[in-house]
Amino acid sequence: MRRMAIVQGENAIVVEPDVVITTLLGSCVAACLYDPVAKVGGMNHFLLGEPSADHRVSAGDMQRYGIHAMELLINGMMKKGAMRTRLRAHIYGGANIVSGLGSIGSSNAAFAHRFMQTEGIEVAHSDVGGTSARKIEFLPQEGRSRCTKVADRVPDRPPVPVALPPVGGDLELF
């Protein structure tokens, strides 16, 4: 099975069988969309939902916003045979990992759900919020996904010393 990894600001659209699209999310959100009839699917990964009304965004920075990422993903899928009315969605991410950044993750997740509702796209599955990062694996042709939460932090365990083999024999090092 071929794996395609995407990062923030990217999307991938697949029509071939045996492909898995993967990403790692914190406060970002990934929308996994698929058309069960056309067997077309894709995933995006965005940093923020949409810019505020008073914030000017350059064309190059638009890729960081969900409003742009969603349109790119949907339009790209339609070019490959998907129909907007048949799309189904899985939404992941939106964790509030860094306490000093407020509720960016929650805002991102709310944007994704609001977008799907406005566009009439059924959300088949959603795993958003909390404080854990997530690893997402999406099989676009089948519309199946796996979300694995990454531990909030490394457990507090003292390091375990490694036992060294006993020194012996007739070899002398100098």
Helix, strand or coil, per DSSP, at residue 27: coil
| Catalytic annotation present for 28 | yes
Among residues 6, 28, 48, 95, the one annotated as catalytic is: 28
- Tell how strand 40-46 and strand 88-93 pair up: unpaired
Residue 120 CB neighbour total at 10 angstroms: 9
Q: Cα(76)–Cα(8) distance, rounded to whole angstroms?
A: 17
How many CB atoms neighbour CB 153 within 10 A? Answer: 8
60 contact partners, CB below 8 Å, separation of at least 6: none
- Phi and psi torsions of 7, nearest 5°: -120, 180
Taking the C-alpha atoms of residue 87 and residue 54, their distance in angstroms, rounded to an integer, is: 32
Q: What is the set of active-site residues?
A: 28
